[in-house]
Amino acid sequence: MRVCIFGTGYVGLVTGTCLAEVGHDVVCVDIDAAKVDGLNNGIIPIYEPGLTPMVRANHAAGRLRFTTDAASGIAHGDIIFIAVGTPPDEDGSADLKYVLAVARTIGQHLQAPAVVVDKSTVPVGTADRVRAAIAGVLAERGADIAFDVVSNPEFLKEGAAVEDCMRPDRIVIGADSAAAIDKLKRLYAPFNRNHERIVAMDVRSAELTKYAANAMLATKISFMNEIANIAEQVGADVEMVRKGIGSDPRIGWHFIYPGAGYGGSCFPKDVQALAKTAQQYGVQPRLLDAVEAVNDAQKGHLFELLVRHYGSEAALRGKTVALWGLAFKPNTDDMREASSRRLLQQLWGAGAKVRAYDPEAMRETQRIFGGRDDLVLCDSANAALRGADALVVVTEWKQFRSPDFALLKASLADRAVFDGRNLYEPADIEAAGLAYYGIGRGR
Ligand code: UGA
């Protein structure tokens, strides 16, 4: 099938590439000429396992093209995806200016009936606004062309996006017309083998489904972080509690890992946007507000542990802290809303220096914080330890899981390890002669 995708960011690029991979004919449109140029030359702007070879192979096969020419993309697509960004507005609601600009562009160039698909995460009611924007421009043109607007939210995880896209656990399609649902079912047929993955519903339910999924996952994390804080005070180990509750299938093992707070481009933004929607419709989002507040506090927890260890914030002045992990989670270079950013600011605010290492996010760190005297970017985890007083682990990269304990002891002048993701057994660190602080592991 002939597909056009607006936006070659995370969602658009992965979706377009996976659709090409199963044989569809895909044109991706982006206003960023340099990015389009790069993509046509096999340069992929994001780090995502498996994506680069897949883009290159499908581009070489002629099934995946990149252009800045919206008109040609729209002429190509029987199905036109909107996968542009929805950054948070001042007040936490999603800013739809890019989505609606694409809708108007579609209205300007549409020549034949098409299905327009909202793929970006957009508030309930956006499909109606997209429909109105397209219809408005068509009316100005005096053009009478039939089109459908469908909500088809994505459930990709950064770091596993290609895998999630190729093997989705569900494909949510929200549409008001049977013909549009049918068309999307044909598009997704190659991903729908072995058992039925398509869940068809009305547009607004599909839009809300996306927010409900992310808010539920964020709630699980904030819940566990709150339990961790209680465990810390009552002298319990939250890791034991986690094991004690996860085996109940109603609770489950996933997303109950306490830590330094959730980050990324999705959970923080989506929880706030859903709360905003609730308020706009007269519902007080008590739980969502609490999920957000707990997470915000949790991002400051590692710093509180450092202050507890050193006795006061003032005692951190002149200290050098080794920081392992800058990305908001492993297998990505993405630092949006990362907990490391809060910690860096707090450490610098207290007059401490930081020696930082992340397997993928060094370039991004340089872009955001480069040029500071109190930040040294290191080229390995062990290099970050050199001359440091204490170690803080913020991101749960696999390569941080088995450190050389003797080297830690020899390197860290103050012999203290702050484990923001509970990667280590306290006993192992303590046996090596270092003080251990985890999340929710007694006092
Ligand atoms: C999230 C959802 O997991 C995807 O299903 C969704 O499609 C995506 O948002 C989106 O809306 O586009 P993502 O933001 O890539 O995906 O990241 P996650 O793997 O969900 O991790 C989010 C954060 O939660 C990370 O900072 C991670 O460290 C933290 N986390 C996760 C915990 O603190 N504890 C856990 O148990 C799990």
State the virtual CA torsion across 118, 267, 241, 434 in degrees, nearest 10. Answer: 140
- Whether residue 442 is contained in a domain is answered as no
Which residues form the domain of 259?
Answer: 211-296
Q: At 244, is the secondary structure helix, strand, or coil?
A: helix
Ligand 1 pocket mutation, candidates 47, 86, 120, 157, criterion most atoms within 8 A of CB: 157
Q: Which residues are annotated as a binding site for substrate?
A: 155-158, 210, 255-259, 263, 329
Q: Is residue 318 domain-shared with residue 423, that is, in the same domain? A: yes
Ligand 1 pocket mutation, candidates 11, 14, 156, criterion most atoms within 8 A of CB: 156
Query: What band does 234 get if pLDDT is binned at 50, 70 and 90?
Result: very high
Average pLDDT score over residue span 206-222: 98
Q: Is residue 285 domain-shared with residue 304, that is, in the same domain? A: no
Q: Is residue 31 domain-shared with residue 172, that is, in the same domain? A: yes
Q: Which of 278, 296, 314 is the last residue of a domain?
A: 296
Element (H, E) at 12: helix 10-21
- Whether residue 45 is contained in a domain is answered as yes
Q: b/e string for 105-121 if b means 16 or more Cβ within 10 A?
A: bbbbbbeeebbbbbbbb
Residue 18 annotated among the catalytic residues of the structure: no
Question: pLDDT tens for residues 242-260?
Answer: 999 999 999 999 999 999 9
Q: Which of 179, 201, 223 is the last residue of a domain?
A: 201
What is the residue with the minimal CA distance to atom 37 of ligand 1? 255
For residue 416, which phi and psi values (nearest 5 degrees)? -135, 135
Q: Which atom of ligand 1 is nearest to the CA of 259?
A: 33
In DSSP terms, 416 is beta-bridged to: 390, 435
Q: Whole-structure pTM over 0.90, yes or no?
A: yes
Q: Is residue 304 domain-shared with residue 415, that is, in the same domain? A: yes
What is the residue with the minimal CA distance to atom 24 of ligand 1? 262
Q: Which residues are annotated as a binding site?
A: 30, 35, 86, 121, 155-158, 210, 255-259, 263, 269, 329, 336
Q: Which atom of ligand 1 is nearest to the CA of 159?
A: 15
Structure tokens at 416: 């203290």
Question: pLDDT tens for residues 359-372?
Answer: 999 999 999 998 89
Q: Which atom of ligand 1 is nearest to the CA of 121?
A: 11
Q: Which of 181, 201, 221 is the last residue of a domain?
A: 201
Q: In whole angstroms, what is the distance from residue 270 CA to residue 268 CA?
A: 6
Q: Is residue 321 domain-shared with residue 401, that is, in the same domain? A: yes
Q: Is residue 283 domain-shared with residue 339, that is, in the same domain? A: no
What is the residue with the minimal CA distance to atom 10 of ligand 1? 266
Stated length of the chain: 443
Question: pLDDT tens for residues 327-343?
Answer: 999 988 999 999 999 99
| Ligand 1 centroid, distance to 217 Cα (angstroms) | 8
- Whether residue 97 is contained in a domain is answered as yes
Pair type for strands 390-393 and 375-377? unpaired
Q: Is residue 279 domain-shared with residue 323, that is, in the same domain? A: no
Structure tokens at 441: 């592991």
- Whether residue 114 is contained in a domain is answered as yes
Residue 88: DSSP 8-state = B
Question: pLDDT tens for residues 90-146?
Answer: 777 778 999 999 999 999 999 999 999 999 999 999 999 999 999 999 999 999 999
Q: Is residue 86 domain-shared with residue 178, that is, in the same domain? A: yes
The predicted complex's ipTM stands at 0.93
Q: Is residue 129 domain-shared with residue 182, that is, in the same domain? A: yes
| Ligand 1 centroid, distance to 106 Cα (angstroms) | 32
- Whether residue 400 is contained in a domain is answered as yes
Domain CATH code at residue 97: 3.40.50.720
Q: Is residue 181 domain-shared with residue 239, that is, in the same domain? A: no
Q: Is residue 407 domain-shared with residue 318, that is, in the same domain? A: yes
Structure tokens at 185: 């079912």
What is the residue with the minimal CA distance to atom 17 of ligand 1? 157
Domain CATH code at residue 290: 1.10.1040.10
What is the residue with the minimal CA distance to atom 4 of ligand 1? 157
| Ligand 1 centroid, distance to 132 Cα (angstroms) | 33
Contact partners, residue 442, CB within 8 Å, separation at least 6: 231, 232, 235, 236, 237
- Whether residue 221 is contained in a domain is answered as yes
* Angle at 402 (CA atoms; ends 399, 404), nearest 5 degrees: 110
- Half-sphere exposure for 25 (CA within 13 Å, toward CB): 9
- Whether residue 206 is contained in a domain is answered as no
Q: In whole angstroms, what is the distance from residue 168 CA to residue 174 CA?
A: 16
pLDDT beyond 70 at 197: yes
Structure tokens at 43: 């340069």
User: How many structural domains are present in the chain?
Assistant: 3
| Ligand 1 centroid, distance to 157 Cα (angstroms) | 7
| Ligand 1 centroid, distance to 275 Cα (angstroms) | 18
Tracing tokens 């996306």 back to the chain, one arrives at 210
Q: In whole angstroms, what is the distance from residue 432 CA to residue 40 CA?
A: 52
Residues contacting ligand 1 via CB (< 6 Å)? 121, 154-158, 214, 217, 221, 255-257, 259, 262-264, 266-267, 328-329
What is the residue with the minimal CA distance to atom 22 of ligand 1? 262
Q: Give Cα separations from 97 to 83, 106, 170, 174, 425 (angstroms).
A: 13, 14, 29, 22, 48
Q: Which atom of ligand 1 is nearest to the CA of 396?
A: 28
Q: Which residues are annotated as a binding site for NAD(+)?
A: 30, 35, 86, 121, 158, 269, 336
- Whether residue 419 is contained in a domain is answered as yes
Q: Based on DSSP, count helices (H) and strands (E) in the chain, helices before strands.
A: 18, 14
Query: What band does 326 get if pLDDT is binned at 50, 70 and 90?
Result: very high
Q: What is the pLDDT of residue 418?
A: 98
Q: Is residue 318 domain-shared with residue 276, that is, in the same domain? A: no
Q: In whole angstroms, what is the distance from residue 352 CA to residue 314 CA?
A: 10
Q: In whole angstroms, what is the distance from residue 222 CA to residue 291 CA?
A: 6
